[in-house]
Structure 1
Amino acid sequence: MTTVLVAHGTRNPRGVAMIGDLAAAMSARLHEPVHAAFVDVLGPSPTEVLGRLAEHHAARDQPVAVVPAFLARGYHVRVDLPAHVAAAGHPAVATTPALGPAPELAAALAARLRAAGHRRGDAVVLAAAGSSDPTAVADVDEAAALLGTLIGTAVSVGFAAPPADGSAHPGVAEAVRAARAGGTRVAVASYLLAEGLFQQRLARAGADVVAAPLGLHPHVVALACRRVRAVRARVDSPA
């Protein structure tokens, strides 16, 4: 089986490199090729990568697992990516669920918080990219709940790019100010995959502690590989 890891895309070279490194880490663990693709900003697109695979006779009938490297089921996961898959014309594609929310990501978030200096008693804000999509917002809320259960405290949510109409969560700086109203320190858990503009916004939000993005945390790599293995199991044991 071949895997295509699909991310949003960024102009930040560190963010692009992180997706390539995640694909490489998955490939090493799965012992099979893992290609990176992007739905926005830069290429190659999922359509291009899947199209190239379909052009090779040796790979055309080989199942392909498409893994959305997204932390919630927003527009790109529910609309963009299926359109890319359909346009590619590859005959054997199975798309996995998005990476998040998931217990593995909650564990990685907790680990990143500890490494950044989070203390028991700190107010915690989960900082996500932002969306007005109700499904994506619900997924971020679930991620906050999973983290809160793990660290034993309620976790509020802030968006790096909140919807202009105020239909979802507030911006991270506003969420930090609200969390500080109780007089406690505030720690921000970065619900982002990689460095970039949004992580910079978290750093400027006024929190006492700002965790690093999830990046190549072992739990992230393990989760991405688990998504692929679940697809492989379905392909190997059809109903």
Structure 2
Amino acid sequence: MSSRKPPVTPAQRPRNPGPAGSVHDGAGAPSRHPALPLRQHGRAADADHRPARHPAQRPAPATRPAPRSPHMHPTLIAVAHGSRDPRAPHTVLALLERVRELRPALDVRLGHIELNRPLLADTLRDTAGAAVLVPLLLGRGTHVKRDLPAAAARAGHLRIRVAGPLGPHPLLVEVLFERLLEAGWTPGTAVVLASAGSLDPDSAADTRRAADLLSERLGGVPVVPAYASAAAPNVPDAVRALAARGYHRAAVASYFAAPGRFASASAAAATGPAAAPLGAHPALARLVLRRYDEALAHSAREPELATA
């Protein structure tokens, strides 16, 4: 006697609820649609008879970051100098977080000239399309005028515009003023504006201009520019010069973007309050974006971005 069971009519077959959960598409992402029954030799493969989940119970589909469109704004690459002081990179990262908060849709990246990672060359290598280099530097020194254009020229796969340095600018003066107040500066106290220094005369001119703007903001008290390296006077000499003029309690304003060896040495020479560096101040974040926008506006007046 045959052991074959009588054929099951379509009406007798159990309804197949389909596999629980979602199926995966070719990219491995779960589909929002319920699984369809697979056909094997004309018959539904209904080995799994568990009840179908309600749509709200199904796993949410995996999301992927949207691909970067070539029509999006050029990447903002902030260029920091780099420092052996471990506080410096943390300060720069905090500043860039403020920049991202101000403009969330903008791709903001970091590259260092030396000492810290990521180095600028690595950031440029990993960037596509167009970019604007915004130096987190305060004057027109060698890095701004020679090193950054050279780095842009080596990145032949990018269309690059190099923005101007952050200083001098009234927003920086406001940050300097706040940092002095935080340190205990009082009206009438003379100030030494301590900066890194450079052999480039344009850099010295920019620092002198910043000192003049700060003097105006402080009500006309003397503000003497001084340098931690490469140029004269150095900070101790500037403090002594003010003492010779009767200002025996001189404050030091730290014209540095982040903490470091130069900022610490300059602060140590103060005979009065010693202010902290500019740091991750909200006004500095606004200035970074202003330099980015200025570079793009300048490129819009030209047919194309500078191409390496």
Q: Decide which of 21, 25, 45 is 2:98's aligned counterpart.
A: 25
Matches of 2:181 and 2:80, distance apart in 1: 27
Assess if the C-alpha contact under 8 Å between 1:50 and 1:90 holds in 2: no
Q: Spell out the pairing of 1:197-212 with structure 2 (5 A cutoff).
A: 197-212=261-276
- Secondary structure, in 3 states, of the residue corresponding to 2:203? helix
Match of 1:177 among 212, 237, 240: 240
One-letter amino acid matched to 2:122: E
1:158 aligns with 2:231: no
Q: Which residue of 2 aligns with 1:5?
A: 78
Name which of 135, 149, 160 aligns with 1:93: 160
Using the TM superposition, give the Cα deviation of residue 231 of structure 1 relative to its aligned residue in structure 2, in angstroms. Answer: 3.3
Q: State the Cα distance separating 1:123 from its structure 2 match.
A: 1.1
Provide Cα deviations, 1:182-212, integer angstroms capped at 9, x if missing partner: 1442111110111111121022204211001
> Residue 81 in 1 paired to residue 152 in 2?
no
RMSD over aligned Cα, in angstroms?
Answer: 1.7
Pairwise mapping of residues 217-232 of structure 1 onto structure 2 (< 5 A)? 217-232=281-296
Aligned to 2:88: 15
Residues 10-40 of structure 1, C-alpha deviation per residue, up to 9 Å, x if partnerless? 1111101111121221122122121110112
Deviation string, structure 1 residues 39-89 (Cα, Å, up to 9, x no partner): 1223323222122113xxxxx2xx312101100110011111111111111
SS in 2 for 1:193: coil
1: CA distance, partners of 2:206 / 2:299: 27
Amino acid at match of 1:175: A
> With structure 2 as the length reference, what TM-score do the two structures score?
0.70
What SS does the corresponding residue of 2:258 show, helix, strand or coil? coil
Are 1:34 and 2:102 matched, yes or no? no
- Aligned counterpart, 1:133: 200
Task: Kindly provide the CA deviation profile for residues 64-116 of structure 1, in whole angstroms up to 9, marking residues without a partner as x.
Answer: 12101100110011111111111111332111111111111011111111111
> 1:57: which partner in 2?
none
Q: Return 5+ residue gaps in structure 1 as ranges.
A: 55-59
The SS at the match of 1:209 is: coil
Larger Rg: 2
Q: Distance in 1 between matches of 2:272 and 2:204?
A: 25
**In 2, Cα distance between the equivalents of 1:100 and 1:234?**
18
- 1:107 aligns to 2:170 (yes or no): no
Taking every aligned residue pair, what percent have the same amino acid on both sides? 39
In 1, the alpha carbon distance for the partners of 2:167 and 2:293 equals: 16
Verify the 8 A CA contact 1:160 1:202 in the aligned structure 2. Answer: yes
Higher deviation after alignment, 191-200 or 23-32: 23-32
**Per the alignment, in what secondary structure is the counterpart of residue 210 of structure 1?**
coil
Instruction: Tell me if structure 1 keeps the 8 A contact 2:190–2:247.
Output: no
Specify which structure has the bigger relative contact order, considering alpha-carbon pairs within 8 angstroms and separated by 6 or more residues: 1
CA distance in 2, matches of 1:121, 1:236: 46
**TM-score, normalised by the number of residues in structure 1:** 0.89
In structure 2, the CA distance between the partners of 1:78 and 1:236, relative to structure 1 (3 Å rule), is closer
Letter aligned with residue 257 of structure 2? L
